[in-house]
């Protein structure tokens, strides 16, 4: 392709960056709240849960720091998400082509998500995106390694990459802050679930409003 990528190692967030999972996630969150005896907000009021670690989102929704209560909510969430919600998802237009071009240009790609790795791998394979990724860095089912800085750090280890040679691409503050904590630059994408001004305030090297803009920046 004749391109010289600015970064050799590309770390991509999943939800809100590569795929739009809002239907599956918000319906599964509402299911969990109702199953555990809490009031479930309308789906449009739950869009903010796409991106941050699920444990923190349920603590906020249930207004509790009781780990047993949060564990029960997560179990009820997965009761619906694993068989149904995981498929209520769609790849953003242009993403498959972008990933293929980045890999062809010699970049090494890692998925860096707070979602459990077991679910993330299933989603990549379901959409045929797995072929472009060298590795997947995600959390454990018990909630360990859900913090984005821990995810980014793990992705760098898996890639054997120096922070200066990598960039994190994501749609929320957590992506930018997690990358910065590891000495990695970050790019925000505007088609995800950030609130107005959220990404700009987090201080990424750029915020891309379209996949074409991201392609030009990466390649």
User: Mean pLDDT in runs of 10 for the chain (219 residues)?
Assistant: 81 98 97 97 93 94 97 97 96 98 97 96 97 97 94 98 98 97 98 95 97 97
* Structure confidence at residue 1 (pLDDT): 46
* Active-site residue, from 13, 15, 20, 171: 13
* Structure confidence at residue 4 (pLDDT): 79
Query: Which residue ranges form the domains of the chain, and what is each CATH number?
Result: 9-21+89-218 (3.40.50.1000), 22-87 (1.10.150.240)
Q: Is 71 one of the annotated active-site residues of the chain?
A: no
* Structure confidence at residue 43 (pLDDT): 86
The residue whose two tokens read 């009820």 is 76
């Amino acid at each position: 392709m004749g391109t010289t990528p600015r970064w050799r190692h590309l770390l991509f967030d999943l939800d809100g960056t590569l795929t739009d999972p809002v239907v599956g996630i918000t319906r599964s969150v509402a299911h969990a709240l109702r199953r555990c005896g809490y009031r479930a907000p309308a789906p449009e009021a739950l869009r903010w849960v796409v991106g941050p670690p699920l444990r923190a989102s349920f603590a906020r929704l249930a207004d509790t720091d009781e780990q047993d209560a949060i564990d029960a909510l997560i179990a009820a969430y997965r009761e619906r998400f694993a068989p149904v919600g995981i498929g209520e998802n769609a790849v953003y237009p242009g993403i498959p082509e972008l990933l293929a071009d980045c890999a062809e240009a010699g970049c090494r790609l890692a998925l860096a998500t707070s979602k459990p790795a077991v679910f993330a791998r299933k989603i990549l394979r379901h959409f045929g995106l797995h072929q472009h990724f060298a590795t997947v860095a995600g959390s454990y089912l018990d909630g360990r390694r859900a913090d984005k800085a821990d995810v980014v750090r793990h992705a760098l280890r898996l890639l054997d990459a120096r922070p200066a040679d990598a960039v994190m691409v994501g749609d929320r503050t957590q992506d930018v802050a997690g990358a910065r904590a590891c000495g990695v630059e970050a790019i925000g994408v505007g088609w995800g679930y950030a609130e107005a001004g959220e990404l700009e305030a987090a201080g990424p090297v750029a915020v891309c409003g379209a996949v074409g803009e991201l392609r030009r920046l990466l390649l």
